[in-house]
Amino acid sequence: MDAIQSPKVLAQNLRQAWDQVQAQNDELELDLMTATDRVKQFESRLEAQAQDVKCLATDVGVCLAPDINHSDVVVELRWSFDDLQKEIAAKEEQIEDLLLKMKALTSSLEDLQPLLVPEPKKKEKKRSKRLRLKWWKKRAPEQQEVWVRVQHYLEKLQEGLIKQKTTISLLEAKMTILADQMKKEKDCLERQKASRAELQNDFKLLQFDNQKKETLIQSLRDLVDTLQKNCLNKNRGAARFQARNAADHATVASMPTIKCEVLDIDDILPFSGCHKPGDLSNMPVLGKGTYGKVYLGRHGDDLRPIAIKQPVLHSDYRRDMLQQEKLLMNERATKESMVQQLLSGSPYFPKMLGMVTIGDDLCTVMDFIGNKKTGRTYPLYRALTRRFKSNPKLGLINMLQVCEDIIKGIMELHREGYLHNDLKSNNILLEKRSQRWHAIIIDLGLASAMAYAKQRRFSDKRRAEYRSRKIYTYMAPEVVLYGKRNSVASDIYSFGVILESIARKIKFSEVAELAEDCTEQDPLKRPHSMQEILLKMEAISASYY
């Protein structure tokens, strides 16, 4: 751009220089005319003085009479003559000053010769020519010589500047052509960049689709293998085992890059007392459920509190099914550990520390959530139930913040492509951080990939008990009554049940309305995502704040 603009800047500078020369030329003409007029006046005055001298001479002859003082007349004549000489000398000095000015202007004109001067208009040319002719007739020979030199330099200057103006015009035309070519090349380059970026995006999308297809093909192969084994196995309960194992195996297969650290059994110490490492029988029990039991211990490296989840095998299984159930149990523990590891960096889930083999059981080790000093846990249902005296006291604002914590945690789980399938107030722990209670989601034992969601079968008796709100109150009706697979909508229903309990506790009508939307019987009438629920929850919190 500097190369393109330089001729224009040069032309502007040349025009300004020409204007300055014209102004100096006009001043010079005025000074010369004024000097000429003064010389004429001076000559006329000299003639008048000469006449006065002649008159005085005649008067002198008259004044030679004896009664006149001749010395006074002579003195007076000398004074007048001296005054005339001084005045003539002053005029000569003025003329010399004017000549010096004209020489300086001539030298400046020689310096400005290579600059560009625009052609004067016709009227200005005629007017300046008349002035020069009028003034030329009145000039002295020396002044005429100076003026001739000035005119000569001006003509040369105009010729050189006209040539340079033509050259600059050609350069400007070439610059314009080059600028157009550069603009076209730039547009072409931008189009090439855009097309290249589009091709790169298409390539990435194709790669992503290819990876998804490969994962799906591998998962389908695993399912086919499972079905083949299921058809060959004719023992009672094999179909149920294979179906459960296929869902867990598909979830594990969807996380090929997730690796869990393997801990040494010597790192699993009791929470208090001196007992053998890895001896779960001497550790306090934090909680137990259908598929596992959680113990409180300490990590051998830094003695921080940890939670050890041990899978539980029911005693009512037949002997020929025990081995299969053990395999299923270990598969579920592996799946839970991998999902926990995937979410380990989230503030809404416990940090995964690793896996350890205790006896024949594959146990999951994670950070303890609760009071680190006393080893006490605070499930959400304790804060919502009055019958527990030691329950944590949460104000309205803190309870709304807990709701947002749960929503954000489920959002992260769904964003990774997994379902919780077991959301309830027992599986939400509270821990005080940064001067407020935070919610942490636990128990991912029933979690599954969205693409391979679980499908459970319930007996008529169980369905009747569900209708009477005796069991499975946190589960969606389409899952229990109609045998539908778990989905995002079923997780939203389970969260709505938790939100109902919170709304009853804090007596907040807007929260109750949101809970009612989440627990609609028709899954299509519920909010479509946890993101939508979060926006509504934030609006409720903002209206209260």
Q: Examine residue 233 and state whether it is found in any structural domain, yes or no.
A: no
Q: Examine residue 197 and state whether it is found in any structural domain, yes or no.
A: no
Q: Looking at beta carbons, which pairs linking 408-411 to residues 24 or more positions away fall under 8 Å?
A: 408/348, 408/534, 409/346, 409/348, 409/349, 409/439, 409/440, 409/441, 410/441, 410/491, 410/495, 410/530, 411/530, 411/531, 411/534
Residues 82 and 68 occupy one common structural domain: yes
Report the pLDDT value the prediction gives residue 247, as an integer from 0 to 100: 73
DSSP characters over 69-94: -HHHHHHHHHHHHHHHHHHHHHHHHH
Report the pLDDT value the prediction gives residue 293, as an integer from 0 to 100: 93
199-236: pLDDT as tens digits: 988 888 888 888 778 777 776 776 666 556 555 554 44
Tell me the three state secondary structure of residue 487: coil
- Provide the angle, in degrees to the nearest 10, between the axes of the packed helices 530-544 and 488-506: 20
Residues 174 and 99 occupy one common structural domain: yes
Pairing of strands 352-358, 268-270: unpaired
* CATH number for position 391: 1.10.510.10
Q: Is 156 a known ligand-binding residue?
A: no
Report the pLDDT value the prediction gives residue 14, as an integer from 0 to 100: 58
Residues 7 and 145 occupy one common structural domain: yes
| Domain region containing 459 | 378-545
Residues 467 and 361 occupy one common structural domain: no
Residues 529 and 410 occupy one common structural domain: yes
Residues 66 and 90 occupy one common structural domain: yes
Q: Give the gyration radius of the chain's Cα atoms.
A: 54
Query: What is the spatial distance between Cα 295 and Cα 286, in angstroms, rounded to a whole number?
Result: 5
Domain count, the chain: 3
Residues 539 and 420 occupy one common structural domain: yes
337-364: pLDDT as tens digits: 999 999 999 999 999 999 999 988 899 9
Amino acid at 114: P
Residues 415 and 337 occupy one common structural domain: no
Q: Examine residue 249 and state whether it is found in any structural domain, yes or no.
A: no
Strands of 446-538, DSSP E: 448-449
Q: Examine residue 40 and state whether it is found in any structural domain, yes or no.
A: yes
Which of 121, 155, 181 delimits the end of a domain?
A: 181
Which of 355, 375, 395 delimits the end of a domain?
A: 375
CB 438 within 8 A of CB 346: no
Report the pLDDT value the prediction gives residue 492, as an integer from 0 to 100: 98
Angle at the Cα of 335 (from 331 to 341), degrees rounded to 5?
145
Report the pLDDT value the prediction gives residue 236, as an integer from 0 to 100: 43
Which of 123, 151, 181 delimits the end of a domain?
A: 181
Q: Examine residue 206 and state whether it is found in any structural domain, yes or no.
A: no
What are the residues whose beta carbons fall under 8 Å from the beta carbon of 15, sequence distance 6 or more?
116, 117, 118
377-432: pLDDT as tens digits: 999 998 888 765 667 888 999 999 999 999 999 999 999 999 999 999 999 999 99
Q: Examine residue 530 and state whether it is found in any structural domain, yes or no.
A: yes
Residues 58 and 169 occupy one common structural domain: yes
Residues 349 and 319 occupy one common structural domain: yes
DSSP characters over 103-130: HHHHHHHHHTTTS--PPPPHHHHHHHHH
Report the pLDDT value the prediction gives residue 132, as an integer from 0 to 100: 62
Residues of the chain with pLDDT under 50: 1-5, 60, 62-68, 70, 73, 115-117, 234-242
Q: Examine residue 193 and state whether it is found in any structural domain, yes or no.
A: no
Structure tokens at 500: 């109902």
Residues 38 and 173 occupy one common structural domain: yes
Query: What is the spatial distance between Cα 313 and Cα 255, in angstroms, rounded to a whole number?
Result: 26
- Picking from 363, 211, 247, the residue whose alpha carbon sits closest to that of residue 294 is 363
Report the pLDDT value the prediction gives residue 38, as an integer from 0 to 100: 65
Report the pLDDT value the prediction gives residue 255, as an integer from 0 to 100: 81
Q: Examine residue 248 and state whether it is found in any structural domain, yes or no.
A: no
97-126: pLDDT as tens digits: 666 766 666 666 555 555 444 555 555 666
Report the pLDDT value the prediction gives residue 66, as an integer from 0 to 100: 45
Residues 347 and 386 occupy one common structural domain: no
Angle at the Cα of 204 (from 200 to 206), degrees rounded to 5?
115
* CATH number for position 336: 3.30.200.20
**What's the sign of the alpha-carbon dihedral 216, 222, 225, 229?**
negative
